[in-house]
Structure 1
Amino acid sequence: MAIKVTTVDDPPPLLHTVRSAQRELGLSRATIYRLLESGALESIRIGSARRIPHDALVGYVEQLRRSAA
């Protein structure tokens, strides 16, 4: 398996898989799916593949920060 090295200048991916969303948020696969099923985290379907827009991850974190304030 190849390891991708990213730098600060690399833009985030436009769409994330569930696995990459897990890594970005530091959450379990089950938690990501619960968030998707509840509508707390937006996703789109491309054929049978589920993808999570990067701005949906950012929006989710911003929502958490607002509710914690």
Structure 2
Amino acid sequence: MSARKHPVKAGDEQLQLPFAFASKASRSNGAEPLAVRIPDAVRMTGIGRSKLYELIASGDLDAIKVGRCTLVPMESLRALLSNARVVPGRFIGG
């Protein structure tokens, strides 16, 4: 079996797909997002997905539900990380 070949239209060569970017949280105009989805918050902070949900459930991290989408405000992520206690000689997290 051979793969189907679709005819290329004139404007298709420059098609930019949304998943072609390195991070979904980045913006092409340089503006920082007000809130990010859980996978982006995991990538940005290095905190695991389950731990983020625990922090949301405990009230230590704010979350916004828009339909089925859970968003974490950037302000809340910054506050969480800036208020985190650093223990000398120990790893943070885990």
Could you state the TM-score of these two structures normalised by the residue count of structure 2? 0.59
Where does residue 39 of structure 1 map in the other structure? 59
Pairs aligned (count): 66
Runs of at least 4 residues off by over 2 Å: 3-6, 9-12
SS at match of 1:50: strand
Structure 2: which amino acid aligns with 1:4? A
The CA deviation at 1:49 is 1.4
Q: What letter is aligned with 2:46?
A: G
Name the aligned partner's letter for residue 25 of structure 1: T
1:61 aligns with 2:55: no
Identity percentage over the alignment? 25
TM-score of the aligned structures, taking structure 1 as reference length: 0.77
- Structure 1 gaps, min length 5: none
Deviations 1:6-46 (A, max 9, x none): 6xx82321111000000111011111111111111101111
- Relative contact order higher in (CA < 8 Å, ≥ 6 apart): 1
SS of residue paired to 1:10: coil
Higher helix share goes to which structure?
Answer: 1
